[in-house]
Amino acid sequence: MLRALEIESPHGTQRLELSRLTILNGEPCTGKSTILRIIERTFKNIDKLGPGIARPGRKISIKMTVELPQDSARNLIRRLQRSWNIDLSDWDRRVIISTSTERSRYEYVLKISMINEPILHVIMRDNVTAVRRPVDIELKSSPETVRDLVRSIRELPQAHMFSTYEEEICLMSDLIELIVESLRSVRVYSVGPYVDYPTCIDVKDLAETMDSTYVGAHGERTLLVLSRVFADGRAWSSLARLLSYLEKIGLSRVRCGLVEGKLTLTYVLDGELMICPELSCTLRSLIAYYVQILAAERGSIILIDNFDYCMTESACRALIMLLKSTSKNVQLIAEVHDSKLAELLQREGGFASIDVPRDMVHCIKYLR
């Protein structure tokens, strides 16, 4: 779970504290959508060393506090205790990733809160890689990933390892690899800024490698994911609540499956079977959002840009009801423009509301 995001630039520092359910509210053009892109791209490039999302020649720092999923943290603790006999019982599972740029410099810092100091500190400048932690040395090579960096450190000649600290350096290297591996396991799903998808798709157009846990940026894979959810008995109780809501508004026996070689959404309306029907923009958005929540991997983060696109108060209340009925351990961060919907999500859905300050736009203008 992402607990905090901090952006520092010559115009000041802005810090956002995030919850499991969070809405980003605020005036237009304050950078709410850009914040979602920062989160997505940082996780996507968590293992890479390079200029990242900052524009070249700009001074900016981005710091993210992440609470690792219980499964990932438990695995990390088990492996470290087995290999190094370390007591991590008081660790709060939080890791801090900090990246900064200044002119041609790129700095990557990875911290773990139990020791309150960086376990990895790398400075890349003019094709020179200077490592400050876990060992203070300059590398002749320019590793592209953290894994390559750790491998280079382990392959250092014995003279550079300083035998007194050799065991500590090996421990830190293991810790770095395990934490980056845990961070890479956190899936980030980005949906929006609008949702629009057909209600029937030719099977030939579906790629075999298509991700069955992601509805797509604009919901274009919603039918595929929905059909997998229908086939998964474990998700049936949560899906049944969506079907119950749809039945209340007149759409009964909603199904998603193959009809004449096409993956098709069907339902019964006024006693008539509707095949490949037209759906309102509101229903498309509601179904795509909830299906994404149901299909998401445990411990993942769902980002919804322009959440209130076509969403009405009634649809928001339905989504709140559906969210309360599922035990899915995911984090949802949504960008909202409509103040009434924001208040509704906060009051009835338990969402934490963050008013993105106008000054944020001055910080993010240095980003790509």
For 196-256, give the DSSP string: ---SEEEGGGS-TT--TT---TTSTTHHHHHHHHHH-GGGHHHHHHHHHHHHHTT-EEEEE
First to last CA, the chain: 24
Distance CA 244, CA 332 (A): 23
The answer to whether 195 touches 334, Cβ cutoff 8 Å, is: no
pTM across the whole model: 0.89
Q: What is the pLDDT of residue 264?
A: 93
The DSSP secondary structure of 143-192, one letter per residue, reads: -SBHHHHHHHHHTS-HHHH-GGGHHHHHHHHHHHHHHHHHHHT--EEEE-
The answer to whether 262 touches 283, Cβ cutoff 8 Å, is: no
Distance CA 176, CA 110 (A): 8
322-352 pLDDT per residue, tens: 888 776 789 999 999 998 999 999 999 999 9
Kindly state the tokens that stand for 289: 């959002």
Distance CA 265, CA 32 (A): 33
Distance CA 193, CA 170 (A): 45
Q: What is the pLDDT of residue 119?
A: 72
62-110 pLDDT per residue, tens: 888 888 877 777 777 777 777 666 677 777 788 888 877 765 555 555 6
237-272 pLDDT per residue, tens: 788 888 988 998 899 999 998 998 899 999 999 999
Fill in the amino acid letter for 234: R
pLDDT-above-90 percentage for the chain: 32
| Domain positions in the chain | 2-184, 189-328
Lowest mean pLDDT of 57-66, 160-169, 189-198, name the range. Answer: 160-169
Q: Where do we find the tokens 């989160």? A: 39
Q: Residue 271: helix, strand or coil by DSSP? A: coil
> What's the DSSP call for residue 42?
H
β partners of residue 303: 190, 333
The total of other beta-carbon atoms located within 10 Å of residue 90's CB is 6
Instruction: Provide the pLDDT confidence category of residue 159 given band limits of 50, 70 and 90.
Output: very low
Fill in the amino acid letter for 364: I
Distance CA 222, CA 367 (A): 31
Distance CA 50, CA 39 (A): 17
Kindly state the tokens that stand for 134: 């876990």
Q: What is the pLDDT of residue 83?
A: 67
